[in-house]
Copies of this chain bind each other. A is one copy, B any other.
Amino acid sequence: MTVSRTAEKSSEKPSDATKSRKDAAGGQSQGPAEALQLGELSEQLGYVLKRAQLKVFENFLRCMASLQLTPAQFSVLLLVEKNPGRNQTEIASTLGILRPNFVAMLDNLESRDLCARIRSTNDRRSHILVLTDKGKAVLTRAKKLVATKHESRLNDLLGQANREALLEMLSKIANEF
């Protein structure tokens, strides 16, 4: 599955090949050039899952445009807030981020004064992560934006009950597949 944006349906029988769709239809050329059939693709879990994920991330970025937070950055802030006093390795690995790749992410957040690295007094190798005051404020605003503009759309689209069922199923897949 490849997945990204566009995707519609249609109906039309396969034809010869070596003849483009346009001409196969009639004689010359024009018309909206009928959409392709997705076929079994629309039944493939991975395909639909990826398309949905892209749409959701896309929407997330739009909602967070004013705060300039990516999904990954938001997750870091959330996790640091809930787990103060943890070091880079712990935060990164919990999020599935490899330590080397986490360095630049933190450099970014730290340069924007959203979080800070503090040398641990107990283990001077490690950096304890904390949210700055600005970081806390931004995270608070981010949560509100996500709740009102992003997550709320799920309820509008699926309904509260379905929303919860969906999250539960996805969690199950994430943890047990």
Instruction: Tell me if A45 and B122 are in contact (CB < 8 A).
Output: no
Instruction: List, in ascending order, chain B residues with CB within 8 A of A41's CB.
Output: 75, 78-79, 82
Evaluate contact between B162 and A21: CB separation under 8 angstroms: no
B177 pairs with A122, CB closer than 8 A? no
Question: Could you say which interface size class chain A belongs to?
Answer: 35 or more
Residues of B within 8 A of A51 (CB): 96, 170, 174
A13 to chain B, nearest CB (A): 10
In chain A, residues 154-172, which have Cβ atoms closer than 8 Å to a Cβ of chain B?
154, 157-158, 162, 165-167, 169-172
* A130 in contact with B56 (CB, 8 Å): no
Instruction: Closest B residue to A61 by CB, please name it.
Output: B46
Copies of this protein in the assembly total 2
CA A56 to CA B22, docked complex, whole Å? 37
Residue of B nearest to A93 (CB): B6
Is A66 engaged at the interface, CB distance under 8 Å to the other chain?
Answer: no
Q: Are A122 and B7 in contact (CB under 8 A)?
A: no
A interface residues (Cβ-Cβ under 8 A, vs B): 1-7, 14-24, 33, 35-57, 59-60, 71-72, 74-76, 78-79, 81-87, 90-91, 93-97, 118, 120-123, 126, 128, 130, 143, 146, 150-151, 153-154, 157-158, 162, 165-167, 169-177
Can you add 4 more A-B contacts, CB < 8 Å, to A2-B75, A19-B128?
A: A2-B72, A15-B84, A15-B85, A50-B71
